[in-house]
Amino acid sequence: MAHNPLADDLVELVARRFRALADPTRIKLLDHLQVGEASVQELTAIVGSSQQNVSKHLGVLHQAGIVGRRRDGNHVLYSIADHGVFALCEDVCGSLREQAESLRRVVASVAG
């Protein structure tokens, strides 16, 4: 089977996507936006951070093409633009759940 290496520009896009996801606050924002669109004010209350910090994180996610935004009067509403990000998150979360469960079984067998 032949290996087709990724083009440099595609590698950069993949790396940018992973960097955008590499922050706990951004993951919390995406988790909430999975339910539906929300304003910065709503998201600020949910993640327990400052409006400036939430706006900065949303900007990173928007720049990476993961979230979209639209103006509604005086508010800007954010939503998921690329739902494929949840498949990636589910793969990672599923793997981490399996590792955590294996670790719990090992600890339980040693302690028991």
Amino acid at 15: A
Q: Are residues 30 and 47 in the same domain?
A: yes
Domain count within the chain: 2
> How do residues 28-48 score in pLDDT, each as one tens digit?
999 999 999 999 999 999 999
State the number of CA atoms in the 13 A half-sphere of 68 facing the CB.
8
Q: Are residues 76 and 90 in the same domain?
A: no
CATH number where 32 lies: 1.10.10.10
Q: Are residues 45 and 100 in the same domain?
A: no
Residue 23 confidence (pLDDT):
94
Q: Are residues 54 and 98 in the same domain?
A: no
The single residue listed with the structure tokens 């498949």 is 87
> How do residues 71-84 score in pLDDT, each as one tens digit?
999 999 999 999 88
pTM, entire model: 0.76
Segments forming the whole domain that contains residue 1: 1-81
Question: What is the chain's percent helix, strand, coil content, to nearest 5?
Answer: 65, 10, 20
Residue 91 confidence (pLDDT):
67
